Structure formats: structure tokens, C-alpha cells
Amino acid sequence: MRLIIADDHALFRDSLRSLIEARGIEVLGEASNGHEVLDLAHRVRPDLVLMDLRMPEMDGLEATRRLQEELPAIKVVALTASTDDEDLFEALKAGAQGYLVKDLEAETFFHLLEAADRGEPALTPNMAAKMLREFARKRRDPEDEDDSPAHRSSNTRRNPTELTDREKEVLDLMVEGTTSNRDLAAELGVSENTVKFHVRNILDKLHLHSRAQAVGFAVRHRLVDTGEFEKDH
């Protein structure tokens, strides 16, 4: 894994870099604002960017949106001090592969970082529960949906009817919380490579960048039933 650290606090960047490099992960560079992130990403093409949300000049949300537009192969994981629900939802809508809070234990951090590198959502159980509760709320209150022309135009390019039955089955499992390639393969009785193929097709057909975005899209557009989740939570 090759990554960039983006944070406006130099001391935090130095400490995090030492921790990451001790695990044998290559840090290609550091950035202190969104403009530096974009410039560095274009030059070194990392696998992943660890992105703080609160940075000067260009914040992490805008930098994430720009990266997904300009270099969609690069995964972005938000690494922030914020536990605010709105920051979580906005980061995932911007295209982040995950959302990690800076007070995580090191082992949990690296476990989720590896998940993100595999293309899986990097969310702690607490953050995943917040996300699904919000999606369930929007399912109950559809008038809360963003009805702006830009939002409607974006959604017209995403045609869920193009998904095959198998792809819809994969999407159902992802919404239920089965997101790793290994667990999806076990549930479906197929190989992990087959799972990756189906997930890639889902993202391509829906014009999305991450599994987290696919889960959100599925619930917002009622492609799956969140009733069981709502009863359990």
C-alpha cells in the first residue's frame, strides 16, 4: 500500500507517518491543505489518501470530491477528530471509502486501513450504525431527499434496473453489513474474485466510487428493505 497523509498539523503528520512506516506501509508524501493533496496525488499516484476534513485553503471534503473526479482510482479515507454525523455523511457522499476518528486504537486503525485498500468500506461499527440509521430515516422521510436539479441530473445517470439479480443480491448483503470480499464470497458460495467482479459492475453501473456510496444509494432509492435494521436498532 502506498499512501499520502493530508493534515494541517505537522506534529500529527510526523507521528502518524512514523506509525505507518513501522508497519511497512510506504508514505509517498504529506500535505497540509487540499491544494497540496491534489498536486501531490497527481504527481505520485498513491493507492490511498488519509484525509483530514478541517484544512485551510481547500478543506478535505472538497479535496475528496476533486480527487474522485480527477483520479477516481485513488481511495480516500477521512481521518478526523470529528464525530459529527453530518461530517460522516458528507465525507461518504463526497466519495470517501471510509471514515476514521483519530482516537482509534492502532490495531483497529490498521485493520480498517487494510479493508479500505481492498476496496471495502473503512467504518467502525459505531460509524456504520450512524450511517444506516440516517439512511433508514431518509427512507421513512423521502421529502428530505435533495431535490436540486444537480441531484436529479446525477441520479438519472444511475439506472438500478441495469443491475442483474446477482448484483442486487450482492447489494442486499452489503446493506445488511456484509462488506468484505471474504464474507460476501462465503454468503454467496463463490470466489472472492467473483465478488470483486460483481462489486465493480455495481459501482460502474451506478456511477459510484465506493461500496459505502453504493450502500447509501441502495437505501435512499429503496433498492433494498431496511426494515430489519430499523427493528434491530
d(CA 65, CA 67): 6
Is 50 exceeded by the pLDDT of residue 148?
Answer: no
Question: Length of the chain in residues, anyone?
Answer: 233
Q: What is the mean pLDDT of residues 35-46?
A: 97
| Of the options 3.40.50.1370, 3.30.70.2520, 3.90.1150.10, 3.40.50.2300, the CATH number for the domain spanning 2-130 | 3.40.50.2300
Cβ-contact 230, 224 below 8 angstroms: no
Is 50 exceeded by the pLDDT of residue 63?
Answer: yes
Q: What is the DSSP letter of 55?
A: -
pLDDT digits (tens, 9 = 90+) for 125-144: 788 777 767 666 665 565 55
Q: What is the mean pLDDT of residues 13-40?
A: 97
| Percentage of the chain modeled with pLDDT above 70 | 81
Question: pLDDT band at 147, cuts 50/70/90?
Answer: very low
pLDDT of residue 151: 45
pLDDT of residue 20: 97
Cβ-contact 114, 94 below 8 angstroms: no
pLDDT digits (tens, 9 = 90+) for 195-215: 999 998 998 888 887 787 787
Q: Which of 164, 158, 152 is nearest to 207 (CA)?
A: 158
CA 101, 63, 112, 177 torsion-angle sign:
positive
For the chain, the domains span 2-130, 144-227
pLDDT of residue 97: 86
Domain 144-227 has CATH 1.20.1440.230: no
Q: Give the chain's end-to-end CA distance (angstroms, integer).
A: 36
pLDDT digits (tens, 9 = 90+) for 78-92: 999 998 888 888 888
Q: What is the mean pLDDT of residues 203-229?
A: 72
pLDDT of residue 6: 97
d(CA 144, CA 83): 22
Could you tell me the pTM of the whole model?
0.70
What mean pLDDT, rounded, does the chain reach?
83
Is 50 exceeded by the pLDDT of residue 54?
Answer: yes
Is 50 exceeded by the pLDDT of residue 119?
Answer: yes
Residue 56 CB-density burial (10 A; 0-12 exposed, 13-18 middle, 19+ buried) = exposed
Cα angle: 213, vertex 228, 188; to 5 degrees: 65
pLDDT of residue 208: 82
Place of cell 479535496: 63
d(CA 68, CA 71): 6
Q: What is the DSSP letter of 161?
A: G
Beta bridge pairs of residue 98: 77, 122
